[in-house]
Amino acid sequence: MYKNILVPVLFDEHHDTQASFLVARALADEGAKFTVVHVLETIPNYVTTEIPGEVIDQARQEVQKSLTQSARALPNSVPMLISGNPGRSIVDYADENNIDCIILASHRPGFGDFFLGSTASRVVRHAKCSVHVIR
């Protein structure tokens, strides 16, 4: 069905990365390309001035290592670490890289999501490609 699939991942206990990978494999055409992406939210400047640069660099390296390990579970995948607002960054990445499907894990929405919106709802509303949300 799809040839260029984007799978955003989070590294917490509430998101099931393996379920996203299973759905991605099921929806992929033979020879499909997978991109496993993690979005690091931008840290405000007033915070970064108080944190030593080495600490920020080390944290980024640890996330990159986790992302690379996670991506190994999905054949033909490329790990990609990007920065920004998660909802906006996922949609922008998909638009810029000709993604034809986004497989996105989501938590059950809470009361705050009705006012602020979640990453998944932003991606569903703004992506130009198909979006499959996994719960």
Q: What is the pLDDT of residues 15-39, one digit of tens each?
A: 678 999 999 999 999 999 999 999 9
Give me the amino acid identity at 66: S
Q: What is the pLDDT of residues 56-102, one digit of tens each?
A: 899 999 999 999 999 999 988 999 999 999 999 999 999 999 999 99
Return the pLDDT at 109: 58
Token pair of 35 as six digits: 């991109």
**Would you list the domain boundaries of the chain?**
2-134
Confidence of residue 115 (pLDDT cuts 50, 70, 90): very low
96: left (phi over 0), alpha (psi -120 to 50) or beta: alpha
Q: What is the pLDDT of residues 100-112, one digit of tens each?
A: 999 998 866 555 5
Q: Give me the CATH code for the 2-134 domain, please.
A: 3.40.50.620
Q: Is residue 69 helix, strand or coil?
A: helix
Asked if the model's pLDDT at residue 116 lies above 50, the reply is no
